Structure 1
């Protein structure tokens, strides 16, 4: 007797499922896919019937939460839809060639860009991408001067007047060494970027407002350069609330440190960016951020700033 053949999962059902999970609402998901709420509810009934498991807990006021099986499906549904969309684009996207110049802080280049570039190259093999790694405050002048077509920058780096898109917004946090109590020192030693950095300004203003004495003991334009003295127990620094290297921990009020503001990741295009290659790459970056960053406060490990 042969094995039972698994049923196929309809991408339309998975797309509706992901939207419901992200919006926590059948009503908002239905509006986004252009269907009635009853139609989307019937889609989920079909999906639950195919899988044989309940995917949602319905709460008061129309809100929904994922069951254990729903949580299991969510990440895999996103991966399946990404693969489906990549295959579709490969066969239906108009041919694009040429070159595009992308600016990014080095942390993005290391942790986030590999999967974007890999998928982009599969669909647009004739496009050459020049990646320029530099701090956000150096990338914006390059954009204005025409040396870059597209850049990922932190909010607050004078990108006004250029076409931009907010990719993610979330909190900054204090970071220290797990095995050292450096945050107890007075004055507090800091490892930060140069004085023009908006993160540095956020850190120092927060400490000044709280009346906490500090000194900038180490300076580096790259986040890897600020994390090194932190790992050695010589200073603390700030970072997005994301996965940290082994040996580092998030510090907060209970450690005697004041709150920090949110920050935003922006994707900014130059006014005379090379087209259509710049728009094509921007679409890929936007899609990956949307899919992997999740909702605010859930910055993926790949998206360190």
Structure 2
């Protein structure tokens, strides 16, 4: 279908007047009448009731109205997808440190290559605080671990596994009591560790408490403690401790991509769609 004809048709539907529609699309009334005759001819159906004192659509016109709106919206989206040079500005993305290695490597690089005029302002924080940042509007988009605070209607971007970790080639996990590093005594990682250790009937002692992923990684990398973290956050010389080592995975969690609903921009929409698509492709 010719999109110009559909635009004129929608203008008529919205203004309920051929005269007003002609002013909106910048054509004469006779020109848009000819356009509607062409559209009816291409469809083989009448769209307007002829001879009526007021403008009325036939059932075919009513049916076409919803289709025409969707067609033009799809065309606009397709054009915008290729018009990357005009997509600029700043978008604030919140990322828990747990997922930084997974998100900041290939995913963001591909986005900045696609939209070179865009700027991504990264905020690294824990999920619970990122939820507050979203509510305040200081963060536009954020990855939130389900269970770490209220979530809205964000889609699940990916799933990740909480696993035990230790230093590569280390024998620390054989020690009794087991030296562990924790975030704090009440966070989700620690509670799962304590529960698992009780079920394993393993004695342990807390040797490091750190409120940052950098501190926890440092404790494991230096070989003074084992800990638990998301599988995607493991970087050498840290390695996963498996069931072969006596440490089964702790839990699988969905990670949602949430957005600040009081803020809207084309760049936010593009980054959200880009992130969801890439993670879907890597599942």
Question: TM-score band (shorter)?
Answer: 0.5 to 0.7
What RMSD over aligned residues (CA atoms) do the two structures have, in Å?
2.9
Aligned partner of residue 132 in structure 1, secondary structure = strand
- In 2, the alpha carbon distance for the partners of 1:269 and 1:102 equals 9
Q: Which residue of 1 aligns with 2:217?
A: 227
Shift of 1:152: 1.2
- In 1, the alpha carbon distance for the partners of 2:235 and 2:243 equals 22
Quick check: which has more Rg, 1 or 2?
A: 2
What runs of 5+ residues in structure 1 fail to find an aligned partner?
Answer: 1-87, 295-305
Higher helix share: 2
Change in 2 beyond 3 A, CA 1:199/1:273: farther
Q: Deviation digits for residues 81-119 of structure 1, max 9, x if unmatched?
A: xxxxxxx97635694343221111235445532433333
- Is residue 137 from structure 1 mapped to residue 137 from structure 2 by the alignment? no
Q: Which residue of 1 aligns with 2:62?
A: none
TM-score with structure 1 length normalisation?
Answer: 0.58
**Kept after mapping to 1: 8 A contact 2:98/2:232:** no
Aligned partner of residue 155 in structure 2, secondary structure = strand
**Kept after mapping to 2: 8 A contact 1:89/1:123:** no
**Kept after mapping to 2: 8 A contact 1:155/1:266:** yes
- In 1, the alpha carbon distance for the partners of 2:88 and 2:244 equals 54
- Is residue 176 from structure 1 mapped to residue 171 from structure 2 by the alignment? no
TM-score with structure 2 length normalisation?
Answer: 0.62
Q: Deviation digits for residues 180-238 of structure 1, max 9, x if unmatched?
A: 32112233221222345322222222223333222332233333321222222211012
User: Which shows bigger deviation, 90-99 or 254-263?
Assistant: 90-99
1:245 maps to which of 221, 225, 235: 235
What runs of 5+ residues in structure 2 fail to find an aligned partner?
Answer: 1-78
- Is residue 119 from structure 1 mapped to residue 110 from structure 2 by the alignment? yes
Count of residue pairs the alignment pairs up: 206
Shift of 1:261: 1.4
Change in 2 beyond 3 A, CA 1:247/1:118: closer
- In 1, the alpha carbon distance for the partners of 2:150 and 2:260 equals 10
1:104 maps to which of 68, 91, 95: 95
- In 1, the alpha carbon distance for the partners of 2:98 and 2:197 equals 25
